[in-house]
């Protein structure tokens, strides 16, 4: 199974490319302090410096800050927020979805109406409201993104649980006298991991985009350098200095593309029917 899976994933060229891109972004994020030891807010050069002028690979912004340093340090913020908010959203979504799907009945109704409440409010509007209320900081942004992202996952997990709980292996576990918690986490959950992993990988991409949009609107953490902030602050001078928007914008594009490619690849690899079709 494992070799089969890796094989299937490796056959998908897009997925491998995505993995390479995201790997590179992670490397840059880890090495940011080595590559650019100074703070990305440091006004290191003359303002409005073009790329490659004054030894600045990507030029400087309107206050003379090194764009390359900002892109490297911004990778940390973007990945951190993407991963942290996805983990939080997965935790909420899996827990609620599993409970609703396993127990069914009134509890299911109640939890699903609650989930729909979150699904009916447009994601971005809700994120903006939450962040505005709790004042922008890394924590409030992670919480806000997690709060708007868990609902679809909860429905997905509920669906999987509904169909799996009537299977023989679950009946057998019940007959053996296993407790509810054991059955949920040890028996059913491992059997619906693949759709969870696929949608989580896509959620990371969405979270990065949400954070960038927030920073673009000036609702990012004012003390953290992020890609969205760089694009947002430079968009007004786009006519004078294209490079200030271009590099961080390109970084967002690459990262989100990479994550989406990985998600597609995982989906294909996890789905045996599709895999067989490709082989044929």
- Positions touching other proteins (CB under 8 A) are 39, 41-43, 47, 62-64, 132, 135-136, 218-219, 222-223, 232-233, 236-237, 239-240
Nearer to other proteins, 175 or 223 (CB): 223
CB of 36 to other proteins, least distance (A): 15
Is the CB of residue 63 less than 8 Å from the CB of residue 43?
yes
Closer to other proteins by CB, 47 or 179: give it. 47
d(CA 55, CA 41): 17
- Write the DSSP assignment of 173-222 as a string of letters: HHHTT--HHHIIIIIIGGGGHHHHHHHHHHHHHHHHHHHHHHHHTT-S-T
Residues 77 and 89: their CA atoms lie apart, in Å, by 18
Nearer to other proteins, 205 or 230 (CB): 230
CB of 35 to other proteins, least distance (A): 20
Sign (positive or negative) of CA dihedral 160, 206, 74, 26 = positive
Q: How far is the CB of 186 from other proteins (least distance, A)?
A: 45
Please report how close the Cβ of residue 46 comes to other proteins at its closest, in angstroms.
Answer: 9
What is the chain's alpha carbon radius of gyration, rounded to the nearest angstrom?
22
Q: Which is nearer to other proteins, 163 or 236 (CB)?
A: 236
């Amino acid at each position: 199974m494992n070799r089969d899976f890796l094989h299937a994933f490796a056959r998908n060229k897009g997925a491998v490319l995505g993995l390479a891109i995201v790997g590179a972004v992670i490397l840059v994020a880890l090495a940011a302090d080595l590559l650019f030891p100074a703070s990305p807010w440091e006004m290191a050069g003359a303002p409005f410096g073009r790329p490659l002028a004054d030894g600045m690979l990507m030029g400087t912004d309107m206050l003379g800050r090194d764009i390359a340093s900002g892109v490297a340090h911004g990778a940390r913020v973007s990945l951190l927020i993407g991963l942290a908010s996805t983990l939080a959203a997965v935790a909420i979504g899996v827990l609620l979805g599993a409970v609703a799907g396993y127990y069914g009945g009134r509890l299911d109704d109640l939890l699903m109406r609650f989930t729909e409440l979150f699904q009916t409010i447009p994601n971005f509007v809700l994120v903006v409201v939450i962040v505005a209320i709790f004042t922008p900081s890394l924590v409030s942004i992670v919480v806000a993104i997690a709060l708007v992202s868990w609902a679809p996952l909860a429905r997905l997990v509920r669906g999987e649980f509904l169909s799996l709980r009537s299977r023989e292996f679950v009946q057998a576990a019940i007959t053996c006298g296993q407790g509810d918690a054991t059955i949920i986490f040890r028996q059913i959950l491992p059997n619906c991991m693949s759709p969870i992993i696929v949608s989580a990988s896509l959620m990371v991409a969405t979270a990065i985009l949400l954070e960038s949009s927030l920073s673009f609107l000036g609702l990012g953490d004012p003390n953290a350098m992020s890609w969205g902030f760089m694009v947002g602050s430079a968009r007004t001078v786009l006519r004078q200095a294209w490079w200030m928007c271009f590099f961080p914008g390109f970084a967002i594009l690459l990262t989100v593309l990479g994550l989406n490619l990985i998600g597609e690849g995982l989906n294909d690899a996890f789905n045996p029917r599709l895999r067989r079709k490709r082989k044929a």
